[in-house]
Amino acid sequence: MKVSDFIYGNYSYRYELIHQNRKTLSLTVRPDMGIVLKCPDHAPEDRVNLFLKRKWMWLTKQLNFFSKFQRTVYDREYVSGESFIYLGRQYELIVKKGNENQVSLTKGKLVVTTKSFVSDSQHNKYLIEKWYQKRAEGIFQERFNEILKRFDYKDIPEISLRKMNKRWGSFIGNKRIILNPRLISAPKECIDYVITHELCHMRHKKHNRLFFDYLKSKMPDWEKRKDRLEGFLI
């Protein structure tokens, strides 16, 4: 990986350039507004620059979008007006007083009803994280059961959730697939990709050509899903 500058008119952006064994170029803007461009090994500089110019309007829209949420992503107070992501969609947090503690999605809003004070950030955080955890457990199991139908494995691994700093998923032995609960922020198509990826490790342990050929046979568009997933913070 190397850091490069993209200059277009009066604008200049710094981005991470990653060369990989791939055929296409992909551009990702992370929620922290970091720009990542992946390209084939030995791709000429002219091809990279032309690709960036063609993606100019998309890049600008993505940067403008994520700039709106910079404060809420890194300095959460768990109060009304903040933004949360669930299954790839952005939701505005609404906290209101009520007779019971509950969290729900209503018309593009993440609504927290609390018996405590509306301004009790720690209690609001606890309710939201508990809600995310429960949703993750249910949806991950549902998607796992569906994806498993694509394989002919006799031994079925279990899935469990564990927070990981740098990984969305992990395959341990032949018995367990671990998923990062933060994956619930990503769209279902990305969740399906991570589960498929880990299930492929039951047949091929290493990330070699056999593994990626097998992955492609189970999910032909896995690269597109992976690129989209990388737009979400771990």
Instruction: Give DSSP secondary structure letters for 144-184.
Output: HHHHGGG---SSPPEEEE---SS-SEEEETTTEEEE-GGGG
Whether 232 and 185 have beta carbons less than 8 Å apart is answered as yes
Nearest to 131 by CA among 145, 115, 110, 100: 110
pTM, rounded to two decimals: 0.70
What CA–CA distances, in Å, run from 57 to 8, 52, 60?
11, 10, 5
Task: Give the span between the Cα atoms of 143 and 146, in whole angstroms.
Answer: 5
Question: Tokens for 186?
Answer: 């990503």
Domain with CATH 3.30.2010.10 in the chain: 139-229
Instruction: Report the C-alpha dihedral over residues 133, 194, 224, 90, rounded to 10 degrees.
Output: 0
Residue 83 β-bridge partners: 92
Q: What angle do CA 102, 105, 110 make, to 5 degrees?
A: 80
Residue 9 has a pLDDT of: 74
pLDDT-based confidence at 165, cuts 50/70/90?
A: confident
Whether 72 has a pLDDT exceeding 60, the answer reads no
Whether 11 has a pLDDT exceeding 80, the answer reads no
Whether 212 has a pLDDT exceeding 80, the answer reads yes
Nearest to 203 by CA among 218, 193, 182, 192: 218
pLDDT-based confidence at 5, cuts 50/70/90?
A: confident
The CATH fold of domain 139-229: Zincin-like (3.30.2010)
